[in-house]
Structure 1
Amino acid sequence: MNQSSVIFKAKNGQEIEIRSPYENEAQLVLDMMVDVSAHSPYILSTPESFKQKTVESQIKWFKDCQESDASILLAVFNNGRIIGFCGGHSYKDIKRRHRAGLGVTLHPDFRGIGIGQKLMEVLLDNMKRFTGIQIIELDVMLNNQQALRLYEKLGFKKAGIFPKAFILPSGEVSDNLTVVPS
């Protein structure tokens, strides 16, 4: 699935663009994820794991999602800089193909000014059009209070908890909360 450009103003007045990433932006996405994962304990991957990914594998991922009716990738731009990234996809196995999951990340410098909410709204609007999807779900660390407030604001409700699912780099343990839109 492909998303054309959506432009809006953040609460701080900056112009923000959300759209599907282009092939020539694959390295920019990887660089942003290295940076964000180094500054956020809530990203599942590490900077080292993002550094191991190739531009070619990113381009293939971009193309596969653009050609799919049940996957989407979105990038967030501010003055030509990628500051966020998200994706949603349906599960492929027969028993879960009615469900779709998503992941979202936003650079810490751009949180709290309405970008995450707009990004989630654009992502969810696209995912609702996925073929055969009945349930959209999202996993979040219970320690990530800022994200939890956003998901609650967007109408998500608790669906289940997996105790002690994550051990953060600090050694702190976090439960995993699965949430679904109401």
Structure 2
Amino acid sequence: MNFEIRQPRIEDAESVIEHKIKVTKENPDTLATAIENQEPDLNDQIEKIKNTGENDLKLVAVDSDKVIGIINMFHDHRHKFRHIGQFGISVQQEYAGHGIGSKLIEEVVQFAKENEHIEKLILTVFGNNDGAIRLYEKFGFETEATLKDQVKLNDGSYTDLIYMSKWV
């Protein structure tokens, strides 16, 4: 598989939206996304691409100009939390197992290590997302807290919300 990891460009906005819609449909019980609540808007997506904070990182995995994976890491600017970077990641199912998620996480970890403000990376993951949990553990992330039955799934059942972190 031949893919490129890079910062998103304005011309990627439509493909980013298509990616978000696709992964939300593919992962209804393992992923929480903003588009579950609001229809994506092209102009909003363009603004999000243009307005990346100085200590934030947004990356896309691209295969032939098609966005197939995304990772966003946001630096918490509040005084007592400014040592924290929080990220979320998604990769389309048909591209899983090709190292895309690993490469995206590697990039975020490296960015955090080189950033004088970020000391710790955090994330949340649904307890039923075993593959993602294993991937995070592979990179040294550890479970800090488990909120029991925090997430209500579409079928009415519940799963845990797990907080994981890694000092960089």
Output the TM-score relative to the length of structure 2. Answer: 0.90
- The equivalent of 2:79 in structure 1 is 94
Q: How many angstroms apart in 2 are the aligned matches of 1:61 and 1:85?
A: 13
Tell me, yes or no, if structure 1 residue 45 matches structure 2 residue 33: yes
Output the TM-score relative to the length of structure 1. Answer: 0.84
Within 5 A, what are the aligned runs for 1:80-91?
80-91=65-76
- The equivalent of 1:29 in structure 2 is 16
**AA matched with 1:107:** Q
Q: How many angstroms apart in 2 are the aligned matches of 1:145 and 1:106?
A: 15
Query: Per the alignment, do residues 27 and 15 of structure 1 end up closer, same or farther by CA in structure 2, a change over 3 Å counting?
Result: same
**Secondary structure in 2 aligned to 1:70?**
coil
**AA matched with 1:31:** E
**AA matched with 1:30:** I
Tell me, yes or no, if structure 1 residue 148 matches structure 2 residue 133: yes
Identity %: 25
Q: How many angstroms apart in 1 are the aligned matches of 2:12 and 2:30?
A: 24
Q: How many angstroms apart in 1 are the aligned matches of 2:35 and 2:55?
A: 28
Gaps of 5+ in 1: 1-13
- The equivalent of 1:112 in structure 2 is 97
Query: Per the alignment, do residues 130 and 63 of structure 1 end up closer, same or farther by CA in structure 2, a change over 3 Å counting?
Result: farther
The alpha-carbon deviation at position 171 of structure 1 amounts to 2.4
Does the 8 A contact of 1:69 with 1:130 survive in 2?
no
**Secondary structure in 2 aligned to 1:15?**
coil
The alpha-carbon deviation at position 129 of structure 1 amounts to 3.0
CA RMSD, Structure 1 to Structure 2 (Å): 1.7
Q: How many angstroms apart in 2 are the aligned matches of 1:59 and 1:128?
A: 28
**AA matched with 1:56:** N
Residues 55-112 of structure 1, C-alpha deviations (whole Å, 9 max, x = no match): 22212211211xx321111111122221111100111222212211000000011112
Tell me, yes or no, if structure 1 residue 54 matches structure 2 residue 41: yes
